[in-house]
Amino acid sequence: MAYFYEEPSRTFNEYLLIPNYSSADCIPANASLRTPLVKFRRGGEPSLSLNIPLVSAVMQSVSDDVMAIALAKEGGLSFIYASQPIEAQAAMVRRVKDYKAGFVLSDSNLRPDQTLADILALKERTGHSTVAVTDDGSQNGRLIGIVTGRDYRVTRMDENTPVREFMTPIEKIVSAPEGTTLKEANNIIWDHKLNTLPVLDAEGRLIALVFRKDYTSNKENLLELTDSLKRYVVGAGINTRDYKERAAALVEAGADVLCVDSSEGFTEWQKIVLSHIRETYGDSVKVGAGNIVDRDGFLFLAESGADFVKVGIGGGSICITREMKGIGRGQATAVIEVSRARDEYFEKTGIYVPICSDGGIVHDYHMTLALAMGSDFCMLGRYFARFDESPSNKVIVGGNYMKEYWGEGSLRARNWQRYDLGEAEFRQLAFEEGVDSYVPYAGSLHDNLGITLHKIRSTMCNCGALTLQEFQKKARITPVSSMSIVEGGAHDVYLKDNMGMPIKK
């Protein structure tokens, strides 16, 4: 006979936090959202931490290089989706790592005999408006000049105009010698009122570029997540199929952390992938695994070498795994049980393995509940898909702006495989576990995320906590009845937005 759980599995909607005493110092401005991303030993520090407890999901419609850069600026992390060719995914990782490094390797380069048309095509491909003109058009060629958007006007120039005729020549460019420190480079930029400073070797060959905007960005985004070289931190998904080749390419491209992307993680396949990573790279490559929903699943992945464990099956807004297969668990119940298992494992082994709540989050306060229940960070798909920075299209549906959003288990997400794996394997997708949908367009990530984070910090203060670790210790959580849920929203009033125009006297 099957094993039956006596208690029903519950969602975040079924819980509320009870306030604690809070001191005068317990205000949102003093609250820290820093949290570990990967495992560490008792008394030590994780090699990777997040400045905010949010990461974007390993999904085509959510996490590309644009989202990764935007989220890293805010202190979070994106896991660039794996359902694409290896070379394309690695290229996205490189673009993130090259975007802000203090000293940036130029990836927009042309020869002086090329034309304005080539400049426009290069800008369309890379999104960069600054182009280095080198003698051979290479990244490290002898610098001849620089072209920016101020050097040409498309409406007044022939696209066949050679670059040498409108570039700023090397004679008029302020540069810095090889060996210049970042602080010295920024001082030169400030003293000469520059936007771009090329760094050259003794023979005039281009070493790197330093941008004024990178310094400004660092001062404006105090929580931005960077590595030891001041490059943005980025994650990437891998699968249980081509993981050897994909992991190697992503590590070479500079990915800071990998994540096995699978709807169900309590499998030998995940252990095989984790074993390969450990045998090949030791502990130098960080990799998370999942997804699981109970104690046994967590212990399996922790003992298999996972650096963090994702919790959640079937709770995502576009996921229909429960409907198709009858497998899953209420997200709140899953997080609570796995958090207890994580703490028990820590007490027993001295190794703290962070857990990530993935799915089941609809409202901002659900994130706060997930953190209070023991999650170290949350992985979000629908939330980030709504923003300008997500890779999906913005469309008008019923007179309203929407963003396209589809699951990795949907037919749409799998379409790329037909070109790489052949029709036979593509047709093995006998049924879908995700849907193709729309979500309301919400504008920029920065504006919306700021509100969400303020809500989390404010709730922490209501509970008398100034750190996430303190929050988890002090949080008092109560289940709620269906009527309590109704009572918690606006009720027994007529909302103004739903009423007609007022009558003029």
CA angle in degrees (0–180, nearest 5) for 461-462-468: 45
Question: What is the rounded CA–CA span in Å between residue 193 and residue 200?
Answer: 19
Please list the alpha-helical segments (H only) found in 242-391: 243-253, 268-281, 295-304, 321-325, 331-349, 364-372, 382-385
Catalytic residues: 319, 418
- Backbone dihedral region of 359: left (phi > 0), alpha (psi from -120 to 50 degrees) or beta? left
Q: Which of 480, 410, 373 is nearest to 83 (CA)?
A: 410
The answer for residues whose C-beta is within 8 angstroms of residue 337's C-beta and 6 or more apart is: 293, 294, 295
Written as tens digits, the pLDDT of the chain (505 aa) is: 999 999 999 999 999 999 999 999 999 999 999 999 999 999 999 999 999 999 999 999 999 999 999 999 999 999 999 999 999 999 999 999 988 667 888 889 999 999 999 999 998 887 788 999 999 999 999 999 999 989 999 989 999 999 999 999 999 999 999 999 888 999 999 999 999 999 999 999 999 999 888 777 667 788 999 999 889 999 999 999 999 999 999 999 999 999 999 889 999 999 999 999 999 999 999 999 999 999 999 999 999 999 999 999 988 888 877 878 889 999 999 999 999 999 999 999 999 999 999 999 999 999 999 999 999 999 999 999 999 999 999 999 999 999 999 888 777 766 555 334 444 444 455 667 778 889 999 999 999 999 999 999 999 999 999 999 999 999 999 999 988 878 888 878 888 766 655 555 5
